[in-house]
Amino acid sequence: MIKALFFKMGYHLRLHRFFKSSGPGSAVTALCLHRINPVNDILFPPLTPGVFAALIRILKKEYEITGFEGIHELVASPSRKKPALVLSFDDGYKDFLEYGLPIIRKEKITVNHNIVINCAETGQLIWTQRLNNILSWLAATQKTLDIDFADISMHKKVEGQLLAVKAELFRILFSRPYTFVDALTTSLEKKYSFSQPAGEMMNWEDIITCQKEGVEIGSHTICHGSLGHYDDAAFVNNEIAGSKKILEEKLKQPVHSLAFPNGWAHPAAYEAAIKAGYKNLLLIDSVKYDFDLKPGPCIYPYKRILVGHPSVYENVFNIAGFHKALRR
Ligand SMILES: [Zn+2]
């Protein structure tokens, strides 16, 4: 509450402008959003439609907003008065269609949205969301999390320490291959007879509706497995090149953007994305990349700022670079 007030006062005093690093002629500010939903989820908080709409109105005053396809023309335009900004969404949640798109349409802006093929194809949730749902249910029903799977043994009360249990579990799983985390998640669903909610991800019809409304569709891989490892080159290459091929067949147009799941990119996965023909390589600015994110004549890496604070003004400060300055 005090934090929200601090950012609100700071915004009205225009203090966020001290952090703004992307003036005309300098780099593009790229944002990464996920869900727009009025119902909160403590483990993966969405922006409410009200916060999203207010944020767009503020950003439109301070930036010129376009998609990745039009950004170079905008940056080069001599008539451009404000810094350039791209709004990019990941994952393909249906609430984008229900709550995000009407606001995007009203504000007449172009955005990018990156789709997980398996979710569009089968309606299945991303494995992280499946685990979030299980953990939330365990907390609500005061059950313990009991995992005995391969080398992982974890027995925890979840209620009252939901975020800590999630952090511990995800810390272990983020370094494991996709097939492992999928099998573990499936084993928990079976063990607890837990049915995941249906209809939360956009299907192909929804995605094509977005495309027709001018949303630039990109790839967010096939399974949302980590591309931070390269132990299984065939898996990584299929996630990258295979997802591009499927999307292009479905959309009947070239796909130029790849969002690396969780922003993690092994140098070989980064190279594989270039080789597959992607132009826009979408990363996350809070992730450390200890290799050269090679730009090229037609290769554009974007370190996107994650946007997900409950207060619109805190998001404005985050986008201006306040949180990044604190991390340094
Ligand atoms: Zn994602």
DSSP state of 277: T
91 CA distance to ligand 1 centroid (A)? 5
pLDDT for residue 22 is more than 50: no
Q: With H, G, I as helix, E, B as strand and everything else as coil, classify residue 119.
A: helix
- What CATH number does residue 61 fall under? 3.20.20.370
Q: Are 152 and 255 contained in the same domain?
A: no
Residue bearing the bigger pLDDT, 26 or 303: 303
Q: Are 67 and 185 contained in the same domain?
A: no
Q: Are 223 and 267 contained in the same domain?
A: yes
Q: Are 96 and 173 contained in the same domain?
A: no
Mean pLDDT value of segment 95-122: 97
Confidence band, pLDDT 50/70/90 cuts, at residue 313: confident
Q: Are 165 and 307 contained in the same domain?
A: no
261 CA distance to ligand 1 centroid (A)? 5
The structure's pTM equals: 0.93
Question: Distance between CA 84 and CA 74 in Å, rounded?
Answer: 7
Confidence band, pLDDT 50/70/90 cuts, at residue 21: low
Choose the final residue of a domain: 191, 209, 228: 191
63 CA distance to ligand 1 centroid (A)? 25
Range of the domain at 263: 2-123+199-327
Are the C-beta atoms of residues 126 and 224 closer than 8 Å to each other?
Answer: yes
Helices 162-173 & 127-140, crossing angle to 10 degrees?
150
Count how many domains the chain has. 2
The burial of 302, by beta-carbon neighbours within 10 Å (0-12 exposed, 13-18 middle, 19 or more buried), is given as buried
Q: Are 230 and 111 contained in the same domain?
A: yes
pLDDT at 24: 40
106 CA distance to ligand 1 centroid (A)? 26
Are the C-beta atoms of residues 130 and 243 closer than 8 Å to each other?
Answer: no
pLDDT at 20: 65
Choose the final residue of a domain: 191, 211, 236: 191
Mean pLDDT value of segment 32-37: 97
pLDDT at 200: 97
12 CA distance to ligand 1 centroid (A)? 33
Confidence band, pLDDT 50/70/90 cuts, at residue 6: confident
Whole-number mean pLDDT of the chain?
92
Choose the final residue of a domain: 191, 215, 233: 191
Confidence band, pLDDT 50/70/90 cuts, at residue 119: very high
Q: Are 242 and 155 contained in the same domain?
A: no
